[in-house]
């Protein structure tokens, strides 16, 4: 599901290739780890804080608090059974973390095992003066 909550800016200033890669990685992970249920991309704008938020929300397998501390390390997945069951190299979130730092994007994670995860990208909005 994609949900847009107006008002949203027509344009944002960012690197489109890197931003697409971040969104692709997060949405791909959400889909991969959600066998049944939903994955949503929610887009909203906090005009007072001058930020746009992308929330990738799933009700998949989730991640426990201990494993969240290592989720951005290369070649790391929550546990070996996830690697066997879902595949992948464990590089997607490491690349995502690196790209968010390059683009000055904040990434927040909330996750509950067996309930799902919520990855939130917070992108500062820069306005061009006329």
Tens of pLDDT, residues 101-116: 999 999 999 999 999 9
Tens of pLDDT, residues 46-94: 989 999 999 999 999 999 999 888 888 887 665 555 544 556 666 889 9
24 token code pair:
């692709």
pLDDT at 100: 96
How deeply is 57 buried, as exposed, middle or buried, from its count of CB atoms within 10 A (0-12, 13-18, 19+)?
buried
pLDDT at 91: 80
**Alpha helices in 1-130, H assignment, sequence order:** 16-32, 65-68, 80-86, 92-102
Confidence (pTM): 0.84
């Amino acid at each position: 599901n994609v949900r847009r909550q107006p008002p949203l800016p027509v344009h944002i200033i960012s690197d489109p290739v890197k931003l697409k890669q971040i969104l692709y990685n997060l949405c791909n992970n959400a889909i991969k780890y959600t066998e049944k249920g939903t994955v949503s991309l929610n887009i909203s704008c906090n005009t007072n804080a001058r930020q746009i938020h992308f929330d990738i929300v799933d009700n998949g397998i989730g991640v426990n608090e201990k494993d969240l501390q290592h989720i951005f390390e290369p070649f790391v997945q929550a546990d070996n059974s996830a690697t066997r069951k879902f595949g992948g190299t464990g590089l997607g979130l490491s690349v995502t973390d690196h790209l968010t730092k390059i683009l000055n994007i904040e990434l927040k994670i909330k996750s509950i095992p067996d309930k799902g995860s919520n990855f939130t990208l917070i992108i500062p909005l820069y306005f061009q003066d006329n």
